[in-house]
Structure 1
Amino acid sequence: MLITLVILILSAAFFVSGKVRSDIVALCALIGLLIFQILTPDEALSGFSNSVVIMMVGLFVVGGAIFQTGLAKMISSRILKLAGKSELRLFLLVMLVTSAIGAFVSNTGTVALMLPIVVSLAVSAGMNPGRLLMPLAFASSMGGMMTLIGTPPNLVIQNTLTGAGYAPLSFFSFLPVGIVCVVVGTLVLLPLTKWFLSKKGGNDEGSLAGKSLNQLAKEYGLSSNLFRLRVLNDSRLIGKTVIELDIRRKYGLNILEVRRGEVSQHRFLKTVTQKLASPDTTIWVGDVLYIRGDVVDVNRFAEDFLLEMMDGHTTEEAANADKSLDFYDIGIAEIVLMPSSRIINQTVKEAGFRDKFNVNVLGIRRKKEYILQDLGNERMHSGDVLLVQGTWQDIARLSKEDTDWVVLGQPLAEAAKVTLDYKAPVAAAIMILMVAMMVFDFIPVAPVTAVMIAGLLMVLTGCFRNVEAAYKTINWETIVLFAGMLPMSLALEKTGASEYISSSLVSGLGSYGPVVLMAGIYFTTSLMTMFISNTVTAVLMAPIALQSAVQIGVSPVPFLFAVTVAASMCFASPFSTPPNALVMPAGQYTFMDYIKVGLPLQIIMGVVMVFVLPLLFPF
């Protein structure tokens, strides 16, 4: 028992110091338990096959798909538009929308998604972003308390309960507790943020990121002379290639892109294929041609080949149309020509960007001048910035030719940010299916199976650009940390350490009744979470809470809920949860800001929960 406690204390010390990655600490603790033969290899590695760990992997994939398809951003931005310019309404909506998304998606992902939206809304409402960003982080943690999958500590107590032979909790068993957390949090944060955070945060939305793809498109005026033409059944260019049309010489137009919507038998499985208009691209019925040029020439071309103009017949009408260059498969980037470049003084046509790299040059920025017409014959100068268009892989390939130019930004990183918004309905349907399988008992599917099915469907239906993108959404540090620390609770139980700690708690507080004992467990967990991650704290405290309840002969459910709430509701430190740390630079907060706002909230939440939990889950 002594060795187990020493390993536990050393692990906690390393977790607190933060000098060693948490997953490495967990693996070192695991190896320590193996070396001293406290656990057998099968027992030590049982965490990696635990259904909770597998469920967490699946949930990372499902959450990643919800972001990749733009579903979460679409929902949150539309709801937040309801706030208008009212500070109170904006504050309340941020709390409600964030907690609602946090119920189904990891709190870190929720904050990463909502942060730019909230900053943008605060700036447009003339409100200080600092007043909203800390509540945003706290609301994501509160929302996690609403469902079984909302936060890892919820899965930990479910695992502890079922492991001890008790009936499992349902998907929405946590909902009443989560609602109380959100209500208490909103009521307490409303005055606290006004008193302490009103002058915090001065970032505008532009300072949070570099030049976005849409900003580039706007800067070069790509949409102002961009027209869309649809190929009809009787169009005269069906089956012809781009080179046969000779559109540049005859009409002075450029075909930038051919978009082909491929719809399977089920409309939810729709895919969008984007092709650069290469000379050998063949045009088919239903294709949409993205063409740049003068509106008169575009109209003439459309009439000659019987094409449907999808935008207005004048430049003004077209500018107001709902059209833009999307970047699913095709992207844009800027490249700067080096003084030593071999292509200086060559024309764009002579440089052969199309032949050598399969990219189009859409514009040239020369000092403050933008050159957009007759680019093929334009001679390039040292220091010119070229806007190029091509597939993301071809643009990334340009960065290897670093002797002639430098690619600004990271094309593949930009590609990863592009949302596949036409897949949002698919992601929504899969998420609803997953929740339905977990909520309704008449569907004979275990929660872990439901999550695995949902994760696989997200990949198979194309909600990710590729399988690698799905793997990248998994936070392996969290998974290894969790799987590595789960056997620690087994070691504590096996050596009698958890029984010893729980006996100490029971002998000290048990005589005062179950409420006082539960309060002791709650505030011990709350204190530990200020220094150790909430997942690790829950893994360590859950078996102790269970033993304590068993020793005094009461239901362990309220005790385990005390552990998960205390582990998740940690607001007094920027380092206790990833969301707290995420908003710190954007809100320009100091450590004392978390003490002023988070500590009172953490204490009030604890006091409320000590009285509410026995009412919701009787002893």
Structure 2
Amino acid sequence: MSLPSLHAIGAILLTIAMFYGFVSGRARVEIISLLTISAIALGLYSFPLPGQAPTDGLKLAFEGFGHYALITICALMVLGRGLVTTGALEPASRLLTRVWRFNRQIGLFVTLLLAMAMSMLVNDTPVLVLLLPIMAAIAANGGMPASKTLIPVNSAVLIGGMATTIGTSTNLLVVSIATDLGLPPMSVFHFTPVVLMAAAVALPFMWLVMPRLLPDNSIAAGHEPRRFLATLRFGGASSGRDMDPAALEKRLPPGVEILAAPASGRLAVRATHAELEEAMRVLGATAAPAWLMERLQSGYGKTGEDLTVVELSIPRDSGLIGRTVATANVAERFNVALLGVHDARHLWPDERPADGRQITIFGEGDIILAAGAMPDLQEFARAENLLVLEGAKELPRTAKAPLALAIMAGAVVPASIGLVPIAISALAGAIAMFVTGCVRFDRIGSALSAKVIVLVAASIAIGRIILDSGAAEWLGGLIALGLQFLPAAGVLAAVMLFVTVLTNFASNTTAAAVGTPIAFSLAQKLGIPVEPLVLAVLFGCNLCYATPVAYQTNMLIMSAGDYKFSDYTKTGLPLVAIMITTLSMVLVYRYNLY
């Protein structure tokens, strides 16, 4: 086998560097994506591909931003946002609540089925955002502990998202790249029967076995409740203002952990919500600036709204990520007090200012303890894309819900029966959402994720350079050497497993962009039809159950369920094995490869 060209070597090294950047977590996904695009543009401008001009390299690097796959993904984000903001999915949540009241096991079974069904047409993240507070409320009212239900529900959402071309942005990317390479277009439900057969095999495991493998992290079972990092502030009348650390430790509730010596009237602590309330009471302190708490308490006389304390989870697309309490300026913008923060990953800075303040940078999966009037808290949650875990949260109820459902159906049905491409019907549906007011123009930032947009554009560029440089052909030949003696089912399983490993430790979008051209090369070298190999790549990109960093929904449930890394592996690895085995066998049967 001949050595790859210099361009192919460069493309492979750049792909490895991109994957390493995602795995290491040292830089934001957007930064890594933009650096990748820049490297491709500068590299091909300085060293063009054979037979191409320098400007052709610039076109290759930046064409992802205008690719129809990215336009379709953005349009589907808007459609999904319209369903959520109008409350069109609320009947599903009411059904779940009624079933859970009847029987817990039946409730979990119905929840898994609904999660699969909804995520076939709506992106995975909005579906989980809808279900997460429902599951938390059910657990609080005597249902199964959230720690035993959230991973199974998340797995069901991911399997449902795998079942259609529009279920996830990754599916659309694989299908779009495959179409560009010559594969006939796939309809919305083209491979749904394959996934449903595998889901039928996996469902008993998710329903009956997964909850038994997961811990009971509820307070009733003796599990320690969520602990928040907070700063106690001592006013002039506070009894703790002049105490030394030893005296403070004696006065504080037993579970409160002092993180730094008191300075400038501040004391950094870590405590549960109940312990924090007790500490404020015995010391006469506040967890937010005294002037802010006075303003919030005085607001009751004007509005009649009681102060409410809620827990808010930070998802991947929140505007708070990367900001601090000071730069977020929540008090002035929303009239809300931030009392404490629970970090899902327990990575707090070691260096702290001398005045005892905690400089906390918000990250994905963190949970905020906030106080304020409920309307202000809801506005805060809407504006920053936060998820309310504790406290009353009214889902939107508008007369536009039936209209949003009709628009979604109008976008999906014509594409599913082949009347129009999904890119056209989704774009028309997104425009209809705006025109009818189901999604407001000033909320476009809540509908679209800049991180997803840049990542998809970079993935399209890396996929093109892997193909055009000859790297895909060389890698396909290398992989074919190891797979040529395997039966078709073994080849499909190996490809699926390879992409699954990349997905669980790096980016499923980039794994899709790299794996799809390799699948075409493998098909030519092994004499296997290209479509089942492309589907093996697509399915592998969705088997992201085994690590919390594999997909944004995995991280979203980590704090809410108080999970450890091992909880994902001991439930996710068996599920990955079940899905790879079943999907490979079904693909062999469907495409007559036996």
Please give the TM-score of this superposition, normalised by the length of structure 1.
Answer: 0.66
2:464 alignment counterpart: 490
1:509 alignment counterpart: 483
1:2 alignment counterpart: 9
1:228 alignment counterpart: none
Q: In 2, distance between residues paired with 1:201 and 1:131?
A: 9
1:432 alignment counterpart: 409
Residue in structure 2 matching 1:455, options 427, 430, 437: 430
Q: After superposition, where does 1:45-84 map in structure 2 within 5 Å? A: 45-84=62-101
Residue in structure 2 matching 1:591, options 562, 565, 571: 565
Q: In 2, distance between residues paired with 1:84 and 1:498?
A: 54
2:25 alignment counterpart: 18
Deviations along 1:196-233, one digit per CA (max 9) or x if unpaired, are 225234499xx99xxxxxxxxxxxxxxxxxxxxxxxxx
Q: Structure 2: which amino acid aligns with 1:499?
A: E
Aligned CA-pair RMSD: 3.2
Q: CA deviation at 1:517?
A: 2.1
Q: Is this contact kept in 2: 1:87–1:125, CA < 8 A?
A: no
Bigger Rg over Cα: 1
Q: Is this contact kept in 2: 1:506–1:517, CA < 8 A?
A: no
2:161 alignment counterpart: 144
Q: In 2, distance between residues paired with 1:83 and 1:340?
A: 38
1:44 alignment counterpart: 61
Q: Is this contact kept in 1: 2:37–2:61, CA < 8 A?
A: yes
Q: Is this contact kept in 2: 1:73–1:114, CA < 8 A?
A: no
Matched, 1:413 2:380: yes
2:232 alignment counterpart: none
Q: In 2, distance between residues paired with 1:340 and 1:483?
A: 45
Residue in structure 2 matching 1:470, options 424, 441, 444: 444
For the residue of structure 1 that corresponds to 2:186, the secondary structure is: coil
1:132 alignment counterpart: 149
Structure 1 461/551 Cα, relative in aligned 2: closer, same or farther at 3 Å?
same
Q: CA deviation at 1:125?
A: 4.2
1:570 alignment counterpart: 544
Q: Structure 1: which amino acid aligns with 2:455?
A: L
More off after superposition, 588-597 vs 190-199: 190-199
Structure 1 81/339 Cα, relative in aligned 2: closer, same or farther at 3 Å?
closer
Please give the TM-score of this superposition, normalised by the length of structure 2.
Answer: 0.69
1:520 alignment counterpart: 494
Q: Is this contact kept in 1: 2:79–2:430, CA < 8 A?
A: yes
Q: Is this contact kept in 2: 1:77–1:117, CA < 8 A?
A: no
Q: Structure 1: which amino acid aligns with 2:550?
A: S
Deviations along 1:1-43, one digit per CA (max 9) or x if unpaired, are 2111111111111111112111221221121122221561111
2:42 alignment counterpart: 35
Q: In 2, distance between residues paired with 1:6 and 1:149?
A: 31
Q: CA deviation at 1:52?
A: 0.6
Q: In 1, distance between residues paired with 2:153 and 2:560?
A: 12
Structure 1 203/491 Cα, relative in aligned 2: closer, same or farther at 3 Å?
farther
Residue in structure 2 matching 1:190, options 207, 211, 215: 207
Q: CA deviation at 1:547?
A: 1.1
* Structure 2 gaps, min length 5: 1-7, 49-55, 227-288, 308-330, 337-370, 384-392
Q: In 1, distance between residues paired with 2:334 and 2:176?
A: 50
Matched, 1:199 2:216: yes
Q: In 2, distance between residues paired with 1:115 and 1:365?
A: 25
Q: In 1, distance between residues paired with 2:481 and 2:532?
A: 19
Structure 1 616/41 Cα, relative in aligned 2: closer, same or farther at 3 Å?
same
Q: Is this contact kept in 2: 1:459–1:470, CA < 8 A?
A: no
Q: CA deviation at 1:82?
A: 2.7
Q: Structure 2: which amino acid aligns with 1:554?
A: I
1:540 alignment counterpart: 514
1:581 alignment counterpart: 555
Matched, 1:611 2:585: yes
Structure 1 181/451 Cα, relative in aligned 2: closer, same or farther at 3 Å?
same
Structure 1 363/32 Cα, relative in aligned 2: closer, same or farther at 3 Å?
closer
Deviations along 1:489-546, one digit per CA (max 9) or x if unpaired, are 1111111111111101112112334332222211111111121121111111111012
Q: After superposition, where does 1:313-332 map in structure 2 within 5 Å? A: none
Q: Is this contact kept in 2: 1:555–1:618, CA < 8 A?
A: no
Q: CA deviation at 1:579?
A: 1.1
Q: Is this contact kept in 1: 2:132–2:150, CA < 8 A?
A: yes
Q: In 2, distance between residues paired with 1:190 and 1:79?
A: 15
Q: Is this contact kept in 2: 1:574–1:580, CA < 8 A?
A: yes
Q: CA deviation at 1:396?
A: 8.0
Deviations along 1:553-579, one digit per CA (max 9) or x if unpaired, are 221111111111111012110110111
Q: CA deviation at 1:360?
A: 9.9
Q: In 2, distance between residues paired with 1:532 and 1:339?
A: 42
Q: Is this contact kept in 1: 2:334–2:380, CA < 8 A?
A: no
For the residue of structure 2 that corresponds to 1:530, the secondary structure is: helix
For the residue of structure 2 that corresponds to 1:550, the secondary structure is: helix
Q: Spell out structure 1 runs of 4+ moving beyond 4 A.
A: 201-204, 336-342, 395-400, 406-411, 414-418
Q: CA deviation at 1:407?
A: 6.7
Q: Is this contact kept in 2: 1:131–1:194, CA < 8 A?
A: yes
Q: Is this contact kept in 1: 2:459–2:509, CA < 8 A?
A: no
Q: Structure 1: which amino acid aligns with 2:562?
A: Q
Q: CA deviation at 1:430?
A: 0.5
Q: Structure 1: which amino acid aligns with 2:424?
A: T
Q: After superposition, where does 1:93-492 map in structure 2 within 5 Å? A: 93-197=110-214, 199-202=216-219, 361-363=302-304, 409-410=376-377, 412-413=379-380, 419-441=396-418, 443=419, 445-464=420-439, 466-492=440-466
Q: Structure 1: which amino acid aligns with 2:115?
A: T
Q: CA deviation at 1:76?
A: 3.0
Q: In 2, distance between residues paired with 1:529 and 1:414?
A: 30
